[in-house]
Amino acid sequence: MNKTLSLLFLLTATLLSASCGRSVQQTDAVTSASKQQSASPAGHTSLDKYNPAANIAAGTFAFRFFTDACAAQPRGNLMLSPLSAGMALGMVAEGATGKTRDELLRAMGFETLGAAVLHNYYRTLTTSLTKADSTVTIGVAGSVWADRQLPLTTGYTKALARDYAAQTRYADFADGATVDVINAWAAEQTHGRIARVVESLSPAMRLVLLNAVYFNGKWENAFDSRMTIDQSFRTDEGNERTVPMMHRVGRMRYASAGAFDAVELPYSCGRYAMVLLLPRDAAKADEAFAGLDYTLWRELQDNFGSTEVRLALPRFESKYSRVLNADLAAMGVRRMFESGRAELGGISPEPLCVDMVKQDTYVRVDEAGTEAAAVTSVTMRMTALRPQQPIDFRCDRPFAYVIYSRTTGAVLFAGRMSRP
- Using CB atoms within 10 A of its CB, is residue 189 exposed (0-12), middle (13-18) or buried (19+)? buried
Cβ–Cβ < 8 Å for 277, 404: no
- What is the C-alpha to C-alpha distance for residues 272 and 274, in angstroms, rounded to an integer? 7
Nearest residue to 48 via CA among 407, 293, 386: 407
Going along 37-90, which residue ranges are E strands? Answer: 78-80
Q: How many CB atoms lie within 10 A of CB 273?
A: 18
What is the 8-class DSSP label of residue 103? H
3-class DSSP assignment, residue 366: coil
- What is the C-alpha to C-alpha distance for residues 146 and 15, in angstroms, rounded to an integer? 9
* pLDDT of res. 301: 95
pLDDT average, residue stretch 220-236: 96
At residue 290's C-alpha, the angle toward residues 288 and 293, to 5°, is: 95
Amino acid of residue 73: Q
pLDDT average, residue stretch 110-138: 88
Q: Where do the H-state alpha helices sit in 5-149?
A: 52-72, 82-93, 98-108, 115-131
Q: How many CB atoms lie within 10 A of CB 2?
A: 7
Q: What is the pLDDT of residues 250-279, one digit of tens each?
A: 999 999 999 999 999 998 989 999 999 999
What percent of the chain is predicted at pLDDT more than 90?
Answer: 54
- What is the C-alpha to C-alpha distance for residues 263 and 309, in angstroms, rounded to an integer? 9
What percent of the chain is predicted at pLDDT more than 70?
Answer: 86
At residue 64's C-alpha, the angle toward residues 59 and 66, to 5°, is: 100
- What is the C-alpha to C-alpha distance for residues 368 and 377, in angstroms, rounded to an integer? 30
- What is the C-alpha to C-alpha distance for residues 215 and 413, in angstroms, rounded to an integer? 12
Stated pTM of the model: 0.86
3-class DSSP assignment, residue 34: coil
Cβ–Cβ < 8 Å for 283, 375: no
Q: What is the pLDDT of residues 13-56, one digit of tens each?
A: 333 433 223 333 333 323 333 333 333 333 334 445 558 999 99
3-class DSSP assignment, residue 161: helix
Those residues with Cβ within 8 angstroms of residue 153's Cβ, 6 or more apart along the chain or in another chain:
95, 346, 347, 348, 349
Q: What is the pLDDT of residues 47-72, one digit of tens each?
A: 455 589 999 999 999 999 999 999 99
Q: What is the pLDDT of residues 338-378, one digit of tens each?
A: 999 999 999 999 998 888 888 888 888 999 988 887 777 76
Lowest mean pLDDT segment, chosen from 116-120, 198-202, 257-261, 279-283: 198-202
Q: Whats the size of the chain, residue-wise?
A: 420
What is the sign, positive or negative, of the torsion defined by CA atoms of 331, 332, 338, 340?
A: negative
Going along 60-116, which residue ranges are E strands? Answer: 78-80
For the chain, what is the mean pLDDT? Answer: 83
Give CA separation, 388 vs 45, 238, 350, 392, in Å: 35, 32, 65, 12
Residue 260: φ, ψ to 5°:
-120, 150
